[in-house]
Amino acid sequence: MTHTPALYICSIQQKDNHTFSIEWNDGHRMNYRLSDLQRVCPCAGCWDDANQERLNLPQNSPDNLTALKITSVGRYALQIRFSSGCSNGIYCYDFLHAFHLRTQNETT
């Protein structure tokens, strides 16, 4: 059995008002659009777990959605406070890494 090293962030950079970049310890540098992350926000205020339905659709268009604040949650996640009002979603590093790769594959 091989041990996979823990995934962690080496650096985060704001690309523009709507996009940020993460450099991961595995050497990948990935760009994230805030509107894409808002659409999959995992917080209880955005999802109805019983019906697996989205409760809150972002009010802001992708062009004007911004992050008021991005904070680290321990050594495993980021919490994004969106200009749309949602601030409870916690995005685990594994999710962010896989989400970027999945969305990248969907567009190619």
Global confidence as pTM = 0.80
Residue 79 pLDDT greater than 90, yes or no:
yes
What is 7-97's CATH topology? NE0471 N-terminal domain-like (3.30.2020)
Residue pair 34/65 in contact by the 8 Å Cβ criterion: yes
Q: In this predicted model, what pLDDT tens digit does every residue of 18-31 receive, in sequence order?
A: 999 999 999 999 99
Distance CA 69, CA 78 (A): 10
In the chain the beta strands, taken as DSSP E runs, fall at 9-16, 19-24, 29-33, 47-48, 53-54, 67-73, 77-82, 90-92
| Domain assignments of the chain as residue spans, ordered by start | 7-97
